[in-house]
Amino acid sequence: MTPFSEYMEWAKTRSAARFNLASSGVAAFPLAELPARIEDLEISGDSAYGYPPLQERLARKAGVDPDRIVHATGTSMANFLVLAAAADAGDEVLIEEPAYSLLVDAARWLRLDVRRFARRAEEGFRVDPRQVERALSPRTRLVVLTNLHNPSSAFTSPEDLRAVGEAARSVGALVLVDEVYLESLAVLGRPSGSASHLGPGFVVTSSLTKAYGLSGLRCGWAVADPDLARRMWRLNDLFGVIPAHPAERLSIVALDHLDLIAARARAILEANTDGANAFLATRPDLACPPVDGGIIAFPRLLRGDVESLCRRLRERHETTVVPGRFFGAPSHFRLALGCSRETFEEGLERLARALDEA
Protein backbone atom coordinates (compact mmCIF):
# COMPACT_ATOMS: atom_id res chain seq x y z
CA MET A 1 0.00 0.00 0.00
CA THR A 2 1.22 3.50 -0.80
CA PRO A 3 2.28 5.11 2.46
CA PHE A 4 0.68 8.43 3.27
CA SER A 5 -0.06 10.77 6.14
CA GLU A 6 -3.74 11.25 6.87
CA TYR A 7 -2.95 14.40 8.84
CA MET A 8 -0.82 16.01 6.12
CA GLU A 9 -3.47 15.39 3.50
CA TRP A 10 -6.06 16.99 5.79
CA ALA A 11 -3.74 19.93 6.52
CA LYS A 12 -3.08 20.52 2.82
CA THR A 13 -6.64 20.10 1.54
CA ARG A 14 -9.08 20.79 4.40
CA SER A 15 -7.54 23.10 6.98
CA ALA A 16 -7.78 26.33 4.97
CA ALA A 17 -10.54 28.70 6.12
CA ARG A 18 -11.23 32.40 6.38
CA PHE A 19 -10.16 32.20 10.04
CA ASN A 20 -7.52 29.52 10.05
CA LEU A 21 -6.58 28.57 13.61
CA ALA A 22 -5.35 25.20 12.33
CA SER A 23 -1.98 26.37 11.03
CA SER A 24 1.13 25.33 12.88
CA GLY A 25 3.53 28.24 12.52
CA VAL A 26 3.82 32.01 12.59
CA ALA A 27 2.18 33.70 9.57
CA ALA A 28 4.40 33.69 6.46
CA PHE A 29 7.15 36.31 6.48
CA PRO A 30 6.91 38.23 3.16
CA LEU A 31 9.88 38.18 0.82
CA ALA A 32 9.41 41.92 0.26
CA GLU A 33 10.35 42.53 3.92
CA LEU A 34 13.55 40.49 3.72
CA PRO A 35 16.54 42.75 2.98
CA ALA A 36 17.65 40.51 0.09
CA ARG A 37 19.19 41.84 -3.12
CA ILE A 38 19.25 39.96 -6.39
CA GLU A 39 23.06 39.80 -6.06
CA ASP A 40 22.55 37.73 -2.91
CA LEU A 41 21.02 34.98 -5.04
CA GLU A 42 22.41 32.52 -7.55
CA ILE A 43 20.83 29.59 -9.35
CA SER A 44 23.60 27.06 -8.76
CA GLY A 45 26.41 26.93 -6.26
CA ASP A 46 28.98 24.90 -4.46
CA SER A 47 26.65 22.63 -2.46
CA ALA A 48 27.83 19.08 -2.04
CA TYR A 49 27.48 17.91 1.53
CA GLY A 50 26.16 21.30 2.62
CA TYR A 51 26.73 24.78 1.25
CA PRO A 52 29.65 25.97 3.43
CA PRO A 53 28.39 29.52 4.16
CA LEU A 54 25.03 28.10 5.22
CA GLN A 55 26.65 25.28 7.22
CA GLU A 56 28.68 27.90 9.09
CA ARG A 57 25.65 30.02 9.94
CA LEU A 58 23.59 27.05 11.10
CA ALA A 59 26.54 25.85 13.19
CA ARG A 60 26.90 29.30 14.74
CA LYS A 61 23.18 29.45 15.49
CA ALA A 62 23.28 25.99 17.11
CA GLY A 63 26.59 26.71 18.91
CA VAL A 64 28.29 23.58 17.52
CA ASP A 65 30.96 22.71 14.94
CA PRO A 66 29.82 22.62 11.28
CA ASP A 67 30.60 18.89 10.99
CA ARG A 68 27.67 18.24 13.36
CA ILE A 69 25.18 20.06 11.11
CA VAL A 70 23.16 18.37 8.36
CA HIS A 71 21.15 20.91 6.41
CA ALA A 72 17.91 19.27 5.23
CA THR A 73 14.64 20.04 3.47
CA GLY A 74 12.77 21.20 6.56
CA THR A 75 12.60 19.52 9.94
CA SER A 76 10.55 16.92 8.09
CA MET A 77 13.47 15.63 6.07
CA ALA A 78 15.85 16.06 8.99
CA ASN A 79 13.60 13.80 11.10
CA PHE A 80 13.36 11.27 8.32
CA LEU A 81 17.15 11.17 7.88
CA VAL A 82 17.68 10.69 11.62
CA LEU A 83 15.13 7.87 11.83
CA ALA A 84 16.60 6.13 8.79
CA ALA A 85 20.26 6.61 9.74
CA ALA A 86 19.94 5.72 13.43
CA ALA A 87 17.76 2.60 13.15
CA ASP A 88 17.36 -0.38 10.83
CA ALA A 89 14.15 -2.11 9.76
CA GLY A 90 12.83 -4.16 12.69
CA ASP A 91 14.55 -2.00 15.32
CA GLU A 92 12.35 -0.49 17.99
CA VAL A 93 11.71 3.26 18.20
CA LEU A 94 9.94 4.70 21.19
CA ILE A 95 7.81 7.72 20.24
CA GLU A 96 5.85 10.03 22.53
CA GLU A 97 2.06 9.91 22.54
CA PRO A 98 0.28 12.20 21.64
CA ALA A 99 2.64 12.91 18.76
CA TYR A 100 3.04 14.82 15.54
CA SER A 101 1.82 11.96 13.39
CA LEU A 102 4.40 12.35 10.64
CA LEU A 103 7.06 11.05 13.04
CA VAL A 104 5.06 7.88 13.55
CA ASP A 105 4.13 7.53 9.86
CA ALA A 106 7.75 7.97 8.73
CA ALA A 107 9.01 5.43 11.28
CA ARG A 108 6.38 2.90 10.19
CA TRP A 109 7.25 3.43 6.52
CA LEU A 110 10.88 2.65 7.42
CA ARG A 111 9.59 -0.63 8.91
CA LEU A 112 10.70 0.37 12.38
CA ASP A 113 8.87 -1.27 15.25
CA VAL A 114 7.03 1.71 16.76
CA ARG A 115 6.40 1.66 20.51
CA ARG A 116 4.92 4.57 22.45
CA PHE A 117 5.42 6.27 25.79
CA ALA A 118 2.62 8.35 27.27
CA ARG A 119 2.62 12.07 27.93
CA ARG A 120 -0.46 12.42 30.09
CA ALA A 121 -2.97 15.27 29.73
CA GLU A 122 -3.52 15.18 33.53
CA GLU A 123 0.18 15.99 33.96
CA GLY A 124 0.21 18.80 31.42
CA PHE A 125 1.70 16.42 28.81
CA ARG A 126 5.08 16.59 30.57
CA VAL A 127 7.71 14.00 29.72
CA ASP A 128 8.05 11.66 32.67
CA PRO A 129 11.49 10.04 32.34
CA ARG A 130 10.21 7.03 34.34
CA GLN A 131 7.54 6.38 31.72
CA VAL A 132 10.26 6.40 29.07
CA GLU A 133 12.48 4.10 31.10
CA ARG A 134 9.67 1.59 31.61
CA ALA A 135 8.88 1.51 27.90
CA LEU A 136 12.50 0.94 26.76
CA SER A 137 13.70 -2.49 25.71
CA PRO A 138 17.09 -3.87 24.64
CA ARG A 139 15.85 -3.48 21.04
CA THR A 140 15.14 0.27 21.34
CA ARG A 141 17.45 2.24 19.06
CA LEU A 142 15.84 5.64 19.29
CA VAL A 143 13.59 7.59 21.68
CA VAL A 144 11.68 10.35 19.87
CA LEU A 145 10.10 13.43 21.43
CA THR A 146 9.25 17.02 20.53
CA ASN A 147 10.27 20.04 22.58
CA LEU A 148 8.16 22.11 22.79
CA HIS A 149 5.63 19.34 22.48
CA ASN A 150 3.48 19.27 19.36
CA PRO A 151 0.49 19.44 20.05
CA SER A 152 0.52 20.81 23.63
CA SER A 153 3.60 23.11 23.69
CA ALA A 154 4.70 21.49 26.98
CA PHE A 155 8.36 22.25 27.71
CA THR A 156 10.82 19.51 28.66
CA SER A 157 13.63 20.77 30.89
CA PRO A 158 17.29 19.87 30.33
CA GLU A 159 17.15 17.88 33.62
CA ASP A 160 14.30 15.69 32.35
CA LEU A 161 16.03 15.35 28.98
CA ARG A 162 19.21 14.24 30.74
CA ALA A 163 17.25 11.61 32.66
CA VAL A 164 15.70 10.36 29.38
CA GLY A 165 19.19 10.34 27.82
CA GLU A 166 20.63 8.25 30.63
CA ALA A 167 17.81 5.72 30.39
CA ALA A 168 18.23 5.53 26.61
CA ARG A 169 21.99 5.12 26.92
CA SER A 170 21.51 2.14 29.25
CA VAL A 171 20.03 0.19 26.30
CA GLY A 172 22.29 1.75 23.65
CA ALA A 173 19.60 4.05 22.21
CA LEU A 174 19.86 7.66 21.02
CA VAL A 175 17.33 10.41 21.79
CA LEU A 176 15.90 12.43 18.91
CA VAL A 177 14.52 15.78 20.07
CA ASP A 178 12.53 17.67 17.43
CA GLU A 179 13.03 21.28 18.55
CA VAL A 180 11.16 23.04 15.76
CA TYR A 181 8.86 24.64 18.36
CA LEU A 182 11.64 25.43 20.82
CA GLU A 183 12.60 28.23 18.43
CA SER A 184 9.53 30.12 19.67
CA LEU A 185 11.24 30.55 23.05
CA ALA A 186 14.25 32.04 21.28
CA VAL A 187 11.91 34.39 19.42
CA LEU A 188 10.44 35.49 22.75
CA GLY A 189 13.94 36.07 24.12
CA ARG A 190 13.68 33.27 26.66
CA PRO A 191 16.39 30.72 27.41
CA SER A 192 15.53 27.44 25.75
CA GLY A 193 18.36 24.95 26.38
CA SER A 194 18.78 22.86 23.23
CA ALA A 195 19.40 19.15 23.77
CA SER A 196 22.27 19.41 21.28
CA HIS A 197 24.49 20.46 24.21
CA LEU A 198 23.57 17.50 26.41
CA GLY A 199 26.05 15.02 24.95
CA PRO A 200 26.50 12.56 22.10
CA GLY A 201 23.38 10.59 23.02
CA PHE A 202 21.16 13.37 21.62
CA VAL A 203 20.25 14.25 18.05
CA VAL A 204 18.30 17.45 17.49
CA THR A 205 16.25 18.61 14.52
CA SER A 206 14.79 22.02 13.77
CA SER A 207 14.08 24.57 11.05
CA LEU A 208 13.21 28.19 10.35
CA THR A 209 9.64 27.12 9.52
CA LYS A 210 7.43 27.58 12.57
CA ALA A 211 8.74 30.37 14.76
CA TYR A 212 9.93 32.67 11.98
CA GLY A 213 7.22 32.14 9.34
CA LEU A 214 9.80 30.94 6.79
CA SER A 215 8.31 27.58 5.86
CA GLY A 216 8.86 28.07 2.12
CA LEU A 217 12.63 28.22 2.52
CA ARG A 218 12.58 24.62 3.75
CA CYS A 219 15.63 25.50 5.84
CA GLY A 220 15.85 22.59 8.25
CA TRP A 221 18.77 20.93 9.94
CA ALA A 222 19.86 18.17 12.27
CA VAL A 223 22.58 18.44 14.90
CA ALA A 224 24.18 15.04 15.34
CA ASP A 225 27.56 13.60 16.16
CA PRO A 226 29.86 13.76 13.11
CA ASP A 227 29.59 10.01 12.28
CA LEU A 228 25.81 10.02 12.30
CA ALA A 229 25.85 13.34 10.40
CA ARG A 230 27.97 11.72 7.64
CA ARG A 231 25.54 8.80 7.39
CA MET A 232 22.66 11.24 7.07
CA TRP A 233 24.40 13.19 4.30
CA ARG A 234 25.04 9.97 2.37
CA LEU A 235 21.44 8.88 2.83
CA ASN A 236 20.20 12.27 1.62
CA ASP A 237 21.95 11.52 -1.70
CA LEU A 238 19.18 8.99 -2.36
CA PHE A 239 16.54 11.74 -2.18
CA GLY A 240 17.17 15.34 -3.26
CA VAL A 241 20.98 15.06 -3.76
CA ILE A 242 21.35 18.82 -3.21
CA PRO A 243 18.82 21.48 -2.16
CA ALA A 244 17.56 24.33 -4.37
CA HIS A 245 20.48 26.74 -4.24
CA PRO A 246 18.40 29.97 -4.29
CA ALA A 247 16.71 28.68 -1.12
CA GLU A 248 20.13 28.13 0.47
CA ARG A 249 21.11 31.69 -0.43
CA LEU A 250 17.84 33.12 0.90
CA SER A 251 18.25 31.08 4.08
CA ILE A 252 21.61 32.79 4.57
CA VAL A 253 19.98 36.22 4.19
CA ALA A 254 17.28 35.16 6.67
CA LEU A 255 19.83 33.88 9.19
CA ASP A 256 21.79 37.13 8.84
CA HIS A 257 18.61 39.09 9.66
CA LEU A 258 17.02 36.73 12.15
CA ASP A 259 16.54 39.52 14.72
CA LEU A 260 14.32 41.42 12.33
CA ILE A 261 12.29 38.33 11.50
CA ALA A 262 12.05 37.34 15.16
CA ALA A 263 10.81 40.81 16.15
CA ARG A 264 7.78 40.44 13.85
CA ALA A 265 7.10 36.92 15.16
CA ARG A 266 7.46 38.11 18.77
CA ALA A 267 4.85 40.86 18.27
CA ILE A 268 2.37 38.31 16.86
CA LEU A 269 3.03 35.71 19.55
CA GLU A 270 2.91 38.11 22.49
CA ALA A 271 -0.41 39.62 21.40
CA ASN A 272 -2.01 36.26 20.60
CA THR A 273 -0.72 34.61 23.78
CA ASP A 274 -2.51 37.28 25.84
CA GLY A 275 -5.62 36.79 23.69
CA ALA A 276 -5.51 33.01 24.02
CA ASN A 277 -5.06 33.10 27.80
CA ALA A 278 -7.89 35.61 28.26
CA PHE A 279 -10.11 33.39 26.10
CA LEU A 280 -9.20 30.14 27.89
CA ALA A 281 -9.86 31.75 31.28
CA THR A 282 -13.47 32.43 30.26
CA ARG A 283 -14.23 28.89 29.06
CA PRO A 284 -15.35 26.38 31.71
CA ASP A 285 -15.94 23.92 28.86
CA LEU A 286 -12.21 23.80 27.97
CA ALA A 287 -9.30 22.45 30.02
CA CYS A 288 -5.95 23.89 29.03
CA PRO A 289 -2.98 25.25 30.96
CA PRO A 290 -2.17 28.88 30.11
CA VAL A 291 -0.06 29.28 26.99
CA ASP A 292 3.50 30.03 28.02
CA GLY A 293 5.82 30.53 25.08
CA GLY A 294 4.40 28.22 22.41
CA ILE A 295 2.76 28.72 19.04
CA ILE A 296 0.02 26.12 19.60
CA ALA A 297 -2.28 25.05 22.45
CA PHE A 298 -4.17 21.80 22.91
CA PRO A 299 -7.39 22.37 24.90
CA ARG A 300 -9.51 19.46 26.01
CA LEU A 301 -13.21 19.79 25.30
CA LEU A 302 -15.04 18.92 28.51
CA ARG A 303 -18.57 18.86 27.06
CA GLY A 304 -19.57 17.47 23.68
CA ASP A 305 -17.62 16.01 20.85
CA VAL A 306 -14.60 17.56 19.09
CA GLU A 307 -15.50 16.31 15.59
CA SER A 308 -18.94 17.99 15.81
CA LEU A 309 -17.36 21.17 17.16
CA CYS A 310 -14.89 21.25 14.24
CA ARG A 311 -17.71 20.68 11.75
CA ARG A 312 -19.86 23.46 13.24
CA LEU A 313 -16.89 25.79 13.41
CA ARG A 314 -16.05 25.25 9.76
CA GLU A 315 -19.57 25.15 8.31
CA ARG A 316 -21.20 27.96 10.29
CA HIS A 317 -18.24 30.10 11.32
CA GLU A 318 -15.61 29.74 8.53
CA THR A 319 -13.00 28.80 11.12
CA THR A 320 -10.74 25.77 11.51
CA VAL A 321 -8.77 24.13 14.32
CA VAL A 322 -7.06 20.72 14.15
CA PRO A 323 -9.09 17.80 15.53
CA GLY A 324 -7.16 15.98 18.25
CA ARG A 325 -7.67 12.59 16.60
CA PHE A 326 -4.70 13.39 14.33
CA PHE A 327 -2.50 13.32 17.42
CA GLY A 328 -4.19 10.32 19.04
CA ALA A 329 -6.12 12.52 21.53
CA PRO A 330 -9.69 12.80 20.18
CA SER A 331 -11.12 14.83 23.09
CA HIS A 332 -8.69 17.69 22.34
CA PHE A 333 -8.22 20.13 19.49
CA ARG A 334 -5.16 22.13 18.48
CA LEU A 335 -5.39 25.88 18.38
CA ALA A 336 -2.78 27.94 16.51
CA LEU A 337 -1.51 31.30 17.77
CA GLY A 338 0.71 32.22 14.84
CA CYS A 339 -1.80 34.00 12.59
CA SER A 340 -2.33 37.76 12.43
CA ARG A 341 -3.85 39.36 15.52
CA GLU A 342 -7.06 40.29 13.67
CA THR A 343 -7.58 36.75 12.37
CA PHE A 344 -6.86 35.32 15.80
CA GLU A 345 -9.26 37.61 17.66
CA GLU A 346 -12.09 37.03 15.19
CA GLY A 347 -11.33 33.28 15.07
CA LEU A 348 -11.59 33.07 18.88
CA GLU A 349 -14.91 34.87 18.85
CA ARG A 350 -16.21 32.40 16.33
CA LEU A 351 -14.82 29.50 18.35
CA ALA A 352 -16.67 30.86 21.41
CA ARG A 353 -19.91 30.96 19.39
CA ALA A 354 -19.43 27.40 18.14
CA LEU A 355 -18.75 26.21 21.70
CA ASP A 356 -21.85 28.01 22.98
CA GLU A 357 -23.95 26.26 20.34
CA ALA A 358 -23.08 22.82 21.72
Ligand X SMILES: Cc1ncc(COP(=O)(O)O)c(C=O)c1O
Applying CB under 6 A, which residues contact ligand X?
A: 24, 74-76, 100, 146, 150, 178, 180, 207, 209, 215, 220
CB of residue 117 to ligand X, shortest distance in Å: 16
Whichever of 150 and 320 has its CB closer to ligand X, that residue is 150
Whichever of 85 and 354 has its CB closer to ligand X, that residue is 85
Whichever of 11 and 348 has its CB closer to ligand X, that residue is 11
CB of residue 184 to ligand X, shortest distance in Å: 12
CB of residue 148 to ligand X, shortest distance in Å: 9
CB of residue 82 to ligand X, shortest distance in Å: 11
CB of residue 358 to ligand X, shortest distance in Å: 28
| Total Cβ atoms within 10 A of residue 23 | 23
Q: Which residue is nearest to ligand X (CB)?
A: 74
Whichever of 15 and 146 has its CB closer to ligand X, that residue is 146
3-state SS record for the chain? CCCCCHHHHHHHHHCCCCEECCCCCCCCCCHHHCCCCHHHCCCCCCCECECHHHHHHHHHHHCCCHHHEEEEEHHHHHHHHHHHHHCCCCCEEEEEECCCHHHHHHHHHCCCEEEEEECCHHHCCCCCHHHHHHHCCCCEEEEEEECCCCCCCCCCCHHHHHHHHHHHHHCCCEEEEECCCCHHHHHCCCCCCCHHHCCCCEEEEEECHHHHCCHHHCEEEEECCHHHHHHHHHHHCCCCCCCCHHHHHHHHHHHHCHHHHHHHHHHHHHHHHHHHHHHHHCCCCEECCCCCCCCEECCEECCCCHHHHHHHHHHHHCEECEEHHHHCCCCEEEEECCCCHHHHHHHHHHHHHHHHCC
Whichever of 209 and 312 has its CB closer to ligand X, that residue is 209
CB of residue 99 to ligand X, shortest distance in Å: 8
CB neighbour class for 48 (10 Å; exposed up to 12, middle 13-18, buried from 19) = exposed
In angstroms and rounded to an integer, the radius of gyration of the C-alpha atoms of the chain is: 20
Contact 245, 51 (CB under 8 A): yes
- Residue 148, preceding bond cis, omega within 30 degrees? yes
Contact 147, 181 (CB under 8 A): yes
CB of residue 221 to ligand X, shortest distance in Å: 9
CB of residue 86 to ligand X, shortest distance in Å: 16
Whichever of 164 and 354 has its CB closer to ligand X, that residue is 164
Whichever of 126 and 169 has its CB closer to ligand X, that residue is 126
Whichever of 15 and 209 has its CB closer to ligand X, that residue is 209
CB of residue 38 to ligand X, shortest distance in Å: 26
Whichever of 75 and 236 has its CB closer to ligand X, that residue is 75
